[in-house]
A and B are shown apart, each in its own frame.
Chain A
Amino acid sequence: MSAPPRKKSKETVLGSTLEMCSVRVGNTLFGIPITHILEIVGSSPAQPVPLAPDYVGGLVHYRGDVLTTVSMRRLLDLPPVETLPDILVFDGESGYFGLLVDSVCDVLTVDPADFEPNPSILDGRRRQLFAGAYKLKKGLLVMLDPVRLDPMNLAAILTV
């Protein structure tokens, strides 16, 4: 299980088309560079952890390890839903971690030319979490950066 090479930012691949995995959380479509994703685990329950920071979605069992997951819904202060979340697995700084999203959608190809940085009207937390957006024909694809979503780093980002 070798980790795919990590790209620190999207700027490094300007000029070529990029493949983004699109995921839905609430009404927003988010995009994550497909090369960052280790695996997608469909509809599985996460075991809640009492007293854990708000954004922790719980624990899931993944290939013999117990992964800490980050809940996008909780990060965005969205109300909980009944349906089981999909889980994206990333290789974080201190081991694997999962990201809970409502559902995983298609893989989209985007053109770096369509990229826009975060608009200034976003609140502080969202400006920290989002990594800009791509203008698609159907709407906007809000970019997420797995490095920022690492539970290790979230603690620092969210206290800012």
Chain B
Amino acid sequence: MDELTREFLIESQEGLDRMERCLTELEERPGDNELLAEIFRAVHTIKGTTGFLGYARLEKLAHAGENLLGLLRDGKMQAGQAVINGLLSLMDGLRAILRAIETEGQEAAGEDTDLIARLIQLEQSRELLELAETVSAIVAANASVSAKASTVSSFSGAYDYAQTEFPASLSSHPESNVPVGNQMDGEAPGNKDKPRPASTGASSTAESTLRVDITLLNRMMNLVGELVLTRNQILQATSNDANLTVLSRRLDMVTADLRENVMKARMQPVSHAFSKFPRLVRDLSQNLGRKVRLQMEGQETELDKSLLEAIKDPLTHAVRNSLDHGIEPPEIRIAQGKDPEGLLRLRAFQEGSHVMIEVSDDGAGVCVQKVRAKALERGLITKDHAAQMSDRELLQLVFLPGFSTAEQVTKVSGRGVGMDVVRTNVEKIGGKVELDSHAGRGTTLRLRIPLTLAIIPALIVVSRDQSFALPQGALSELVHVSPGQAATSIEWIESAALYRLRGNLLPLIFLDQILGKPALDGPVDHDRYIAVLDAEGRRFGLVVDGLADPEEIVVKPLSSVLKQIGFYSGATVLGSGNIALILDSAALAHKAGISQDSEEEQKKTHLADEVAEEIAAEFLLVETGGRKSAIPLKDVLRIERLPRKQIEYMGTRPVLNFEGNLLPVEDQAGLIDQALDPEMQITVVVCREGNRHVGLAVEHVLDVAAGSDLSEAGTELPAQGVTLLKERVTNVVDLSCVSDLEGIEAGQGWEVSQ
């Protein structure tokens, strides 16, 4: 393909992309002249250039479209639903021809008769409506009209291809062929006008931008990576020489700047991925009988081009899902008291080194019970599991392969591949995906995408003196295991190694073993580390011999022979000049047989962790009478240290004069009774219980820690339950069991009577 044609194709594609955007906007603002001019320009440019290049079919179609657009632009017509539909199919028609030219080098044979006829019909239909009223009056009033009409029809006969599809109403009013003449008038000024806007539009962008082949950018990125590496080595080599240090610092700065700019060159605004959604949403909602308003935010957020390409499919899946399963048909929405028009929101924003993309709708939401039932039916979880899972955990099940709650498979979605594909694609590029839904109120799908794929943060781990890179996306925490600990803290069920992490059993994979290294003789006598990884919902610990510093690594592809091994997603050159293989944690988990079942189990515990962390109640850890117990921190008002003598008795009940109020003090361990010296310091934790205050005498206040609730109920004294605190089961003090002052006040009489 010659340069000219290629340029033409690119330019036309861009023009059509603009047209697509404008068309969907036009639907909301039918009279917007700027939008119309923009669309006109796109079609006109195609028509103009094709004539020059000799693509007859393309020219013919573009010409038909241009006529219609000319009328619209000149305000002779209003862009209604039918017109926009017609223009969209015009666009699709143009695209199809362009695609054929791109792949085959020439237009495919055939005619666009139907489409052209439809466009011409549209040109006339508008005037038809108008004329239908006036003309019928004229027909009645003026018999000579019929004579005039016959000339017009013979004139219009030249447009024979248009005749066949004229609406029935047309034949009953032969006079209404008149608009054909009008259309010709309309076209003439259009022809004169158009070269001007087209040329100004083209020149302004041509001056400031330049098209660059993406492979060239990739190559540049590679070379920059190489430069970074060389710089690192030079920095090391010149650190002793003062003169060279200045130079190498400069090299350092320039390199960093260069790298940043090359990366920037690869960035594209998210709008490139979003731009097709107005059309998609429009078509789908018509198809499905929904009314949907699309709201897009943060379109200027930038993302690496390759990542942008990678999320297009997942986003489309998500949008389709929202329209098909999320937003209800208008009747149902009205019945539920919602706005008949549903809202679909696409939102992108940067968060640290990630870009978050949210697809949210205000539709029916996902019914958790249905998810549970379906998961049970498909055998994805067991009954016991289901009973233990929280709603949020159950929701994440929709990401499992083969899951769909749709009652029936529709054209749009429901085959149960959607969400699975979303997760797989997003995780492939190092991202994460999360679902949040409230029945009746809507669903939000969150995609968390790294800013760039080419350079990722990674932890360098060492196994048997060889370095490997572990992408930090999958890494959730690191655990150190000393040689002494190893024997006790790593537990075995036959040949399966497990580590007890905050009460949960974490399956372990030994990196050296899974990589086929022969087992070492004798016990391990060096420090080891467990990297706790989360990959595609599989949670496991990877045991390595050592850790090096985290590094920003430049990902280099591997040859297919090595890709086939499956454990490595690429390789990288470290600052030291050594090559490290990049481990694919999901593949490791898979190969090690972290099965579906235990995957779910791990996922469940993981989610439980997460949820617990989120709502984690914090506790004050205290020691009384040699036993540790926990007091919910939210109830603690203050901690008092005061001499024993300040505590008085009402009857047998110790009380404290606290800010002018009498405070009952619970002294379970008899600390106050045992304190003989009146000056001895007693620690009292003052707590709120309901609308009263109570004091607890304790020996020591140890710590504040986050606890997670345990379902086992404690049977010991005033403990309303137990909590898992610092990996130890701890009693929670039940403040309501502290008898209140009223009883004591009433007891005053009882004291007297004694």
- Let me know if B204 is at the binding interface, CB within 8 A: no
For chain A, residues 50 to 74, give those with C-beta under 8 angstroms from any C-beta of chain B: 50-53, 56, 59-61, 63-68
Q: Which residues of A contact B106 (CB under 8 A)?
A: none
Q: Is the CB of B558 within 8 A of A50?
A: no
Residues of B within 8 A of A (CB): 222-223, 225-226, 466, 515-517, 556-562, 565, 567-568, 571-573, 577-581
Q: Is the CB of A50 within 8 A of B559?
A: no
Query: How far is B579's CA from A119's CA once the two chains are assembled, in angstroms?
Result: 40
Q: Is the CB of B466 within 8 A of A48?
A: yes
- Nearest B residue (CB) for A45: B578
Contacts A/B (CB < 8 Å), 14 sampled:
A47-B578, A47-B581, A48-B466, A49-B562, A50-B515, A50-B517, A64-B225, A64-B226, A64-B556, A66-B558, A66-B571, A67-B559, A151-B559, A154-B561
Query: How far is B579's CA from A48's CA once the two chains are assembled, in angstroms?
Result: 9
Q: Which residues of A contact B225 (CB under 8 A)?
A: 64
Q: Is the CB of A94 within 8 A of B515?
A: no
B745 vs chain A, min Cβ distance (A) = 77
Query: How far is B517's CA from A51's CA once the two chains are assembled, in angstroms?
Result: 9
Residues of A within 8 A of B (CB): 47-53, 56, 59-61, 63-68, 94-95, 97, 151-152, 154-155
Q: Which residues of A contact B562 (CB under 8 A)?
A: 49, 52, 56, 59, 68
Q: Which 5 pairs of residues, A with B, have the shortest CB-CB distance?
A: A50-B515, A64-B226, A68-B559, A47-B579, A66-B556
Q: Is the CB of B560 within 8 A of A94?
A: yes
Query: How far is B558's CA from A16's CA once the two chains are assembled, in angstroms?
Result: 39
B470 vs chain A, min Cβ distance (A) = 15
Q: Is the CB of B561 within 8 A of A155?
A: yes
B11 vs chain A, min Cβ distance (A) = 31
- Nearest B residue (CB) for A94: B560
Q: Which residues of B contact A49 (CB under 8 A)?
A: 562, 565, 568, 581
Q: Is the CB of B561 within 8 A of A66?
A: no
Q: Is the CB of B561 within 8 A of A61?
A: no
Q: Which residues of A contact B577 (CB under 8 A)?
A: 61
- Nearest A residue (CB) for B219: A64
Q: Is the CB of A61 within 8 A of B573?
A: yes
Query: How far is B579's CA from A111's CA once the two chains are assembled, in angstroms?
Result: 42
Q: Which residues of A contact B580 (CB under 8 A)?
A: 47
Q: Which residues of B contact A52 (CB under 8 A)?
A: 561-562, 565
Q: Which residues of B contact A59 (CB under 8 A)?
A: 562, 571, 579, 581
- Nearest B residue (CB) for A58: B579
- Nearest A residue (CB) for B515: A50
Q: A50-B515, A50-B516, A52-B565 are in contact. Are A65 and B556 (CB under 8 A)?
A: yes
Q: Is the CB of A65 within 8 A of B579?
A: no
Q: Is the CB of A51 within 8 A of B565?
A: yes
- Nearest B residue (CB) for A61: B573
Q: Is the CB of A152 within 8 A of B567?
A: no
Query: How far is B466's CA from A90's CA once the two chains are assembled, in angstroms?
Result: 27
Query: How far is B383's CA from A134's CA once the two chains are assembled, in angstroms?
Result: 74
Q: Which residues of A contact B466 (CB under 8 A)?
A: 47-48, 50
B147 vs chain A, min Cβ distance (A) = 76
Query: How far is B401's CA from A20's CA once the two chains are assembled, in angstroms?
Result: 56
Q: Is the CB of A95 within 8 A of B579?
A: no
Q: Which residues of A contact B517 (CB under 8 A)?
A: 50
- Nearest A residue (CB) for B511: A50
Q: A61-B573, A65-B556 are in contact. Are A53 and B222 (CB under 8 A)?
A: no
Q: A50-B516, A52-B561, A56-B561 are in contact. List 20 more A-B contacts (CB 8 A).
A: A47-B466, A48-B466, A49-B568, A49-B581, A50-B466, A50-B515, A51-B516, A51-B565, A51-B567, A52-B562, A61-B573, A61-B577, A66-B558, A66-B579, A68-B559, A68-B562, A94-B560, A151-B561, A152-B559, A152-B560
Query: How far is B581's CA from A64's CA once the two chains are assembled, in angstroms?
Result: 15
Q: Which residues of B contact A53 (CB under 8 A)?
A: 561
Q: A59-B571, A61-B573 are in contact. Are A94 and B559 (CB under 8 A)?
A: yes
Q: Which residues of A contact B565 (CB under 8 A)?
A: 49, 51-52
Q: Is the CB of A68 within 8 A of B558?
A: yes
Query: How far is B556's CA from A68's CA once the two chains are assembled, in angstroms?
Result: 12
- Nearest A residue (CB) for B570: A66
Q: Which residues of A contact B559 (CB under 8 A)?
A: 67-68, 94-95, 97, 151-152
Q: A59-B579, A60-B579, A64-B222 are in contact. Are A51 and B515 (CB under 8 A)?
A: yes
Query: How far is B466's CA from A47's CA once the two chains are assembled, in angstroms?
Result: 9
Query: How far is B562's CA from A106's CA once the two chains are assembled, in angstroms?
Result: 32
- Nearest B residue (CB) for A65: B556
Q: Which residues of A contact B567 (CB under 8 A)?
A: 50-51
- Nearest A residue (CB) for B512: A50
Query: How far is B223's CA from A151's CA once the two chains are assembled, in angstroms?
Result: 25
- Nearest A residue (CB) for B223: A64
A71 vs chain B, min Cβ distance (A) = 13
Query: How far is B222's CA from A51's CA once the two chains are assembled, in angstroms?
Result: 27
Q: Is the CB of A63 within 8 A of B556?
A: no
A147 vs chain B, min Cβ distance (A) = 15
Q: Which residues of A contact B226 (CB under 8 A)?
A: 63-64
Query: How far is B222's CA from A53's CA once the two chains are assembled, in angstroms?
Result: 27
B562 vs chain A, min Cβ distance (A) = 6
